[in-house]
Amino acid sequence: MIKPLRKAVLPVAGLGTRFLPATKATAKEMLPVVDKPLIQYAIEEARAAGIEQFCMVTGRGKTALVEHFDIAFELESTLRERGKTEALDVLRALAVPAGSIVTVRQQEPLGLGHAIWCARAFIGEDPFAILLPDDLVLSDTPCLKQLADAYLETGGNVVAVTEVPPDQTNRYGILKVGHDGGRLVEVTGLVEKPAPADAPSNLSIIGRYVLLPGVLRHLARLERGAGNEVQLTDAMARMIGEAPFHGLRFEGRRFDCGDKVGFLEAQIAFALKRPEMAPAVRAFLKSYV
């Protein structure tokens, strides 16, 4: 029997050093793309995939991430008194059920694998999703919904993958591929940030995963890998053979919002998808290009 996917872990303890000074006093996940912060896009994507419980793995100075989804009584009262119903509706759309968001602390920056291990009590014995808010996907069907559907189809671990230039494999977790069905590919091996000459393929994992809880057994070793960090990729590699493991070529376009150029590109792409903004955005772009 395939257990339903109801939990998601969001690792959000990073310092955001690539965006200093903007992130000196603001969590990088609160940086907006058009008019919504990255963390909101991630939560909305997860909810569209049927996720009901969320665990944010946080660090110091990250309280705004949870407060963003809290009820702002004074602000809502002010908007109501001024008759700003549209703005009030926008705030109400943020609401999540009471008790559905919890946080745990990652006291030391020991890597993505360590961050997931910090959420072990939340995960328990259930399958769970991982969303990295830095990765923003523009798609007709939310990326995590595509992964959730693939999980129900395969009953095992599923990671979102995309092709990267062969000379950039040393920046990503790379798949060793068995049977390639086009949309779903069998994962027979995983390598974290291999040199281009050593990469088994150019299929890279992006920041969307659906994993079985068995990964926690491997993460519990807290073994250091690339960059002297506890790598999630290494723990996932040890799961191969324990259960079905697939990569999903997702529909949509991924933007690396942890990179300044990727972040700016996401602003333009998401603005152009907004009917009320697209004409004005196209008009001003012509003056720069």
Provide the pLDDT confidence category of residue 102 given band limits of 50, 70 and 90.
very high
Whether the per-residue pLDDT at 280 is higher than 90: the answer is: yes
Q: Give the 3-state secondary structure of residue 26.
A: coil
Structure tokens at 276: 């009320």
pLDDT score of 218: 94
CATH of the domain at 134: 3.90.550.10
User: Is residue 16 domain-resident?
Assistant: yes
Rounded to an integer, the average pLDDT of 145-174 is 92
Domains identified in the chain, total number = 1
Task: Note the pLDDT tens digit of each residue in 27-74.
Answer: 899 999 999 999 999 999 999 999 999 999 998 878 889 888 888 888
Residue 191 falls within a domain, yes or no? Answer: yes
> What's the whole-number average pLDDT of the chain?
92
State the pLDDT at residue 89.
Answer: 86
Q: Classify residue 1: in a domain, yes or no.
A: no
The position carrying tokens 């909305």 is 44
CB 281 within 8 A of CB 268: yes
Instruction: Specify if 124 maps to a domain.
Output: yes
- Position 96 scores a pLDDT of 85
| pLDDT tens digits, 122-146 | 999 999 999 999 999 999 999 999 9
For the ranges 147-151, 198-202, 261-265, 268-272, the lowest mean pLDDT is seen at: 198-202
Domain that holds residue 172: 7-286
Beta bridge partners of 179: none
Question: Residue 137's pLDDT is what?
Answer: 97
Domain assignment of residue 2, yes or no = no
pTM, full prediction: 0.92
My answer on whether omega of the bond before 21 falls inside 30° of 0, hence cis, is yes
